[in-house]
Structure 1
């Protein structure tokens, strides 16, 4: 999405609550990265993270993230799929750098949640892929997403981690392309806030089907959509959110990021994994 200088100045000064889906639509734009993140170190893996790619005339193009929930099911955002030609979609697992080959599987179908409404609710989809990924518990593995116990609802003040290949600066700067558009997977930590705080900060449509998080000069941006927000539990990492939307300018402290709350939809996700 191309932004004008006027939009940048207005958003920086008064934090206008203009919706921004965090995907990079496959229409020839330059890839974009997480704001305020750092490179995942060489030799380290985020094994549940995948790159969702689209075949264009120029080749395969990263445009969204996703997470492995079973060997042949990927969890992502609904707006990463809606209206796209499934025969041109694929996922790549086991990579840190978008230039790596990794394990590529084609997307054979996607299921968008029936209640999905853009910038409002239920922004999730499950992809069916072939061939199934070979999980090795090192570079490629699934992430736990279901927690149906009494502590499944994530409130405010919870440390969470976001990974993805999304914009590193709040807006594109052509003269900083070499820095702004790296191909290395980014990782960033910040905290959730309560939904009430999120609404008070301009995200008035947020409901309990979503989680909000924010941090100083950090956050999700174009290209991060569909990617996993995770938290640490006594049993290991658990995915609690899916990157959905935010304000026009990414990474402002007054601008929360909005994630689909995975626990709300765990039954629906389970259903879509039954025929694997």
Structure 2
């Protein structure tokens, strides 16, 4: 049983299959000072009508100060790209999401890259769940991610850490950036739990506790799992999906294996791969005027209090976007 960990598709409430989901479970508080390559993806329409999401909907990491690595399902909905989230996304860095939206400086995306063969489908276990976002300008942070050059980390003797702003347990939200230790699960064992597992996916579990194991949960999608390579942290995976009940079972997180996409990542960074989608101010304005302002008054009247705009939580945002005809994807175990 599995569930995608992303929280960006839209319906009135998260849609989960029998047992896949995304949050940091059994985590401890950390900061972007310790993980300076980590970033968060936010929904931000404040320049148009003051609306914005109360939490990030996915995580990511900086390949450079202008390119973000994340999960493809973070920008898809129901098998198609989610144009609204791509247009009204901003990328920022914070350890505490109560600082959003006034105390951090986010940057909007300009270009999106993903595989045409990406499968936004549980039945296909979200094959090729990887995307790259080029920002309109560099993000002013202190770090970029280290990627692996081989797969020597595939051993349960190695040390791994997942981080994210996702839930701490199913349906339990946190604003803090959390980390948790995880252990490698071999492909045979993982495939027995996830029929149809792809070679480009890698699985992990965590230390046991009386009620749940370490893992990822809703909201952690797109974020990293790191390998401690003799003191150098290398991102070996992108959070994709996990159990619907966060921390349940012997596999508490399935990740896209970054090493299998090194060639594609390089081709995007050096400009030899064309973007799948380009976001512009003109597209944002046209979308807002034709797809949002044209909706019934009951949609725009649901803004937060305080002068015509404000934060909307995921349940309200999901409802608004459902009215717009979208589907909400629930992150598996850890948007923590």
Which TM class, normalised by the smaller chain length? 0.7 to 0.9
Matched, 1:196 2:178: no
Give the TM-score of the pair, scaled to structure 1. Answer: 0.80
3-state SS of paired residue (1:103): coil
2:52 aligned residue: 59
Larger Rg: 2
1:213 aligned residue: 204
In the TM superposition, what is the alpha-carbon distance from 1:220 to its structure 2 partner?
0.8
Gaps of 5+ in 1: 1-16, 173-179
In the TM superposition, what is the alpha-carbon distance from 1:247 to its structure 2 partner?
2.3
List structure 1 runs of 4+ shifted beyond 4 angstroms.
26-30
Aligned 8 A contact 1:228 1:241 in 2: yes
The equivalences for 1:255-270 within 5 A come to 255-270=251-266
3-state SS of paired residue (1:263): helix
Matched, 1:249 2:245: yes
1:34 aligned residue: 24
Aligned 8 A contact 1:33 1:186 in 2: no
Q: For the residues of structure 2 that align with 1:110 and 1:145, how far apart are their CA atoms?
A: 20
3-state SS of paired residue (2:106): strand
Matched, 1:132 2:138: yes
The equivalences for 1:59-78 within 5 A come to 59-60=52-53, 61-78=55-72
In the TM superposition, what is the alpha-carbon distance from 1:155 to its structure 2 partner?
1.7
Q: For the residues of structure 2 that align with 1:228 and 1:161, how far apart are their CA atoms?
A: 8
3-state SS of paired residue (1:99): helix
Matched, 1:228 2:234: no
The equivalences for 1:142-161 within 5 A come to 142-147=144-149, 151-157=150-156, 158-161=158-161
In the TM superposition, what is the alpha-carbon distance from 1:55 to its structure 2 partner?
2.3
- Residue by residue over 1:226-263, the C-alpha shift from the partner in whole angstroms, topping out at 9 and shown as x without a partner, is 00111111361111000001222111142331100000
Give the TM-score of the pair, scaled to structure 2. Answer: 0.66
Aligned 8 A contact 2:73 2:126 in 1: no
Q: For the residues of structure 2 that align with 1:110 and 1:131, how far apart are their CA atoms?
A: 14
- Residue by residue over 1:89-140, the C-alpha shift from the partner in whole angstroms, topping out at 9 and shown as x without a partner, is 11102x21112223311011211122212324210000010221234xxxx3
2:323 aligned residue: none
Gaps of 5+ in 2: 15-21, 273-336
1:10 aligned residue: none
In angstroms, what is the RMSD of aligned CA positions?
Answer: 2.3
The equivalences for 1:90-109 within 5 A come to 90-93=90-93, 95-100=94-99, 101-109=103-111
- Residue by residue over 1:207-238, the C-alpha shift from the partner in whole angstroms, topping out at 9 and shown as x without a partner, is 22011000232211110000011111136111
Matched, 1:239 2:235: yes
2:73 aligned residue: 79
Q: Which has the higher contact order (CA 8 A, sep 6+)?
A: 2
Change in CA separation of 1:105 and 1:53 when aligned onto 2, cut-off 3 Å:
same
Q: For the residues of structure 2 that align with 1:161 and 1:232, how far apart are their CA atoms?
A: 8
Change in CA separation of 1:45 and 1:156 when aligned onto 2, cut-off 3 Å:
closer
Higher strand share goes to which structure? 1
How many residues are paired up?
Answer: 240
In the TM superposition, what is the alpha-carbon distance from 1:271 to its structure 2 partner?
0.8
2:167 aligned residue: 167
Aligned 8 A contact 2:203 2:251 in 1: no
In the TM superposition, what is the alpha-carbon distance from 1:29 to its structure 2 partner?
6.4
